[in-house]
Amino acid sequence: MSTSPLLLAMLGDARLPSGGHTQSAGLEPALRAGLTPAGVPAYLRSRLRTVTRVEAGTAVVARAVAAGGGDLAEVEAAWAARTPSPALRANGRRLGRGYLRVLQTLWPGPVDARARTWSRPVVLGLLAHRAALAPADVARLVGYDDVQTATAALLKLEPQDPLLTAAWVNGLLPDIDEMAAQVARLRTPEQIPAHGAPLIERWAETHDTATERLFSA
């Protein structure tokens, strides 16, 4: 199954109105906890091996379950079990509602009444099924979005030469492809990887109660 490269470009474009501009991929609290801008590429590689891989795996499995007419609530439960931070779960579900608006407007059709409470990777999986996005491509989308979200947020938090961060993203593309290849064949909720990133999860909790912040998470 092949996806139109333009569909992937559109879904990966920051201008897609899904609420992405409120996000920093955990970067805002990470910088506050002492991460330096130079450490951002390594931070993103760590995410691609842990939390982002869980997200991408969830999206791939949700796509497969939606294609097979299964119950996405089971995928949602598997994602929640692998996302220990309540702040990250709440944020993921807010983002899910944003993508649900995109889904219902661009690929309308009946959706489960519980879909409003599902997280972004589960809704993205459903969207991938409806829009005929290949499994590896929805995983690539999750990885690419994570990397672009953090680097775009860095330009607001610790301004850099925007071409420098664009070069970082370019340098991370093979890592995104590699992560996508690792999760592309997953089919069932129990196959979703369960990598934790305790610091990222703790920072997300601290951030949730901060009164000075540019980004939701």
Partner 1 sequence: MPENTTATAPVRAMRLGVAGPVGTGKSSLIATLCRALAGELRLGVITNDIYTDEDARFLRSAGVLDPERIRPVETGACPHTAIRDDVTANLLAAEDMEADFGPLDLVVIESGGDNLTATFSPALVDAQLFVLDVAGGGDVVRKGGPGIARADLLVINKTDLGPYVGVDVARMAREGREAREGSPVVALSRHDEASVRTLTDWVRDALTRYRTGNHAPVDPGPMAPHFHADQDAGDAGDAHPHTHAHGPTHPDGTTDADGTADAHHGHAPANAGHGA
Residue whose pair of structure tokens reads 């796509």 in the numeric block:
63
Q: How far is the CB of 27 from partner 1 (least distance, A)?
A: 11
Q: Nearer to partner 1 by C-beta: 53 or 120?
A: 120
- Among 21, 45, 187, 202, the residue binding partner 1 under the rule CB under 8 A is 21
CA gap 99, 49 in Å, rounded = 24
Q: Which two tokens stand for residue 1?
A: 């199954």
Of 76, 122, 80, nearest in space to 103 by CA: 122
Q: How far is the CB of 89 from partner 1 (least distance, A)?
A: 16
Number of Cβ within a 10 Å radius of residue 211: 4
Q: How far is the CB of 156 from partner 1 (least distance, A)?
A: 4
Residue 24 within binding range of partner 1, rule CB under 8 A: yes
Question: Of 12-20, 33-41, 82-90, 136-144, which segment contacts partner 1 by CB under 8 A?
Answer: 12-20
Q: How far is the CB of 28 from partner 1 (least distance, A)?
A: 9
CB-based contact 21:38 (threshold 8 Å): no
Using CB under 8 A as the binding rule, the residues of this chain from 81 to 100 that contact partner 1 are 94, 97-98
Half-sphere exposure of 31 (CA within 13 A, CB side): 21
Q: Nearer to partner 1 by C-beta: 50 or 151?
A: 151
Residue 20 within binding range of partner 1, rule CB under 8 A: yes
Residue 37 within binding range of partner 1, rule CB under 8 A: no
Using CB under 8 A as the binding rule, the residues of this chain from 152 to 211 that contact partner 1 are 152-153, 156, 211
- Among 33, 106, 164, 194, the residue binding partner 1 under the rule CB under 8 A is 106
Using CB under 8 A as the binding rule, the residues of this chain from 128 to 157 that contact partner 1 are 152-153, 156
Contacts with partner 1: how many residues (CB under 8 A)? Answer: 26
Report which DSSP code applies to 38.
G
CA gap 102, 10 in Å, rounded = 12
Q: How far is the CB of 187 from partner 1 (least distance, A)?
A: 31
- What DSSP string runs through 118-152? --HHHHHHHHHHHHT--HHHHHHHHHHHHHHHHHH
CA gap 70, 90 in Å, rounded = 24
CA gap 11, 18 in Å, rounded = 10
Q: What is the CA radius of gyration of the chain?
A: 16
Interface positions with partner 1 (CB under 8 A): 14-15, 17-24, 94, 97-98, 101, 104-106, 152-153, 156, 211-216
